Amino acid sequence: MNDAWGCDLLVVSPHTDDAEIGLGGTIALLAGRGRRVWAADLTRGELGSNATPDERWAEAAAASAILGLAGRVQLELPDGFIDADDRDQAGALTWVLRSLRPRWVVTAPDPVRHPDHQATPRLVERAVFMARLAAFRPTRPAGRTWSGGAPLPEAADVFTAEARFAVCADHVAPSLYFDVGATWERKLAALACYASQFERGAGRRPTMINDEAFLERIERRALAWGRRAGCARAEALCGPAAPVAGDLPADRWA
């Protein structure tokens, strides 16, 4: 890997479990090939209907180990109020970008329904831009890192990511697909770590994501993207970046 990159892929999500929902198969695929993949959770999920932030963080630790993450950081931005126009929020993520220096930055899950899901891609877009400006000097934000992964290094003065993507919503044309047929079971195993979020039981409030139909929709989406990509299951990304080719690529095209 080029020394300019501190990691290959950074998945930025508003809550623990969002990276696994949107991109768990791809994370496992790339990690299995020796890529350094990090997850950054913007909030502690303190407004969640079920479980405490500490319980959810313990679930995230188990899921991170299953997927093979190189590291995971959880910031303390306000759950339910992610705001791309907030200087402090942009500064917190800018510091993380300068610390990890990811080649690619991806937001997950797809930006629909939840206000934080809609705001996260805009916050990432701003932070990716601000990371390039030497005059913008945010301090290290409050947060915690997964003890099973690598620590956060000190931040560089400036950093420019190569590409920015988002998990693709159903109605958007993908920019690229990842064939996740071989890692789908690991994605499901990682999701199963979040019992507080996906399983109903005594003392748990019913939610959209602990309805069994939610996981069925995740499965149907992977099958639908897979049909378009010519494989069993796929995860799709969209974004403004496009590759610059110097030869015919080794990978097949859908």
Domain spans, the chain: 7-238
Q: What are phi and psi of 237, to 5 degrees?
A: -120, 155
Q: What is the mean pLDDT of the chain?
A: 95
- Output the pLDDT for position 43: 98
The answer to whether the peptide bond before residue 109 is cis (omega within 30 degrees of 0) is yes
- For the purposes of burial, counting CB atoms within 10 Å of the CB of 207, is it exposed (0-12), middle (13-18) or buried (19 or more)? middle
pLDDT band at residue 249 under the 50/70/90 scheme: confident
- For the purposes of burial, counting CB atoms within 10 Å of the CB of 151, is it exposed (0-12), middle (13-18) or buried (19 or more)? exposed
- Output the pLDDT for position 208: 87
- Output the pLDDT for position 254: 81
pLDDT band at residue 3 under the 50/70/90 scheme: low
pLDDT band at residue 27 under the 50/70/90 scheme: very high
pLDDT band at residue 31 under the 50/70/90 scheme: very high
* Mean pLDDT, rounded, for 30-37: 98
- Output the pLDDT for position 33: 97
* Mean pLDDT, rounded, for 74-93: 98
Residue 137's SS3 state is coil
Sequence-distant (6+) residues with CB within 8 A of 158 are 98, 131, 132, 133, 134
- Output the pLDDT for position 118: 96
pLDDT band at residue 243 under the 50/70/90 scheme: confident
- Output the pLDDT for position 252: 85
- Output the pLDDT for position 202: 78
- Output the pLDDT for position 1: 43
- For the purposes of burial, counting CB atoms within 10 Å of the CB of 136, is it exposed (0-12), middle (13-18) or buried (19 or more)? middle
Residue 243's SS3 state is coil
In the CATH scheme, what is the code of domain 7-238?
3.40.50.10320
Identify the CA nearest to 76 among candidates 64, 88, 58, 65: 88
